[in-house]
Amino acid sequence: MKTRSAFFFWLHFLLVLLAWAGPFLFNWKLILAAYGVVLLQFFFFKKCFMNAGHDLTDDDDTTFYSHLFEKIGWNIPRGPLKFFVRNLLYPLLGAVAVIWQLVLKHPPLLF
């Protein structure tokens, strides 16, 4: 892996981890704004800008998630996975943040 490509891969991986942990780490308002930016990127540009940084294209419904899963030997159908990631994942994580913090009254661990 080239240095630039490796950098963007690990940055993307870190951002994915933060997206999953976000509902517990950050205020729900920040989380919803961040998820909204990601969803707007998918809606208007039909791609993830981070993928280009580590040489992934959107050909054949490739996503960062499909790339990771295939690396560990899980061959999840790319089309449904892409639909889930680009349309359902971030609203679901946003709902988790709201429920965790507002309904269940758990404060974010960081800010």
What are the pLDDT digits (tens) for 93-107?
Answer: 999 999 999 999 999
pLDDT at site 33: 98
pTM for the whole structure: 0.90
Least Cα distance to 54 among 5, 11, 2, 3 occurs for 5
CA dihedral 46, 40, 51, 87 (to 10 degrees): -70
pLDDT digits (tens, 9 = 90+) for 57-89: 888 999 999 999 999 999 999 999 999 999 999
Work out the average pLDDT over 7-35: 97
Task: State the Cα–Cα distance between residues 93 and 89, nearest whole angstrom.
Answer: 6
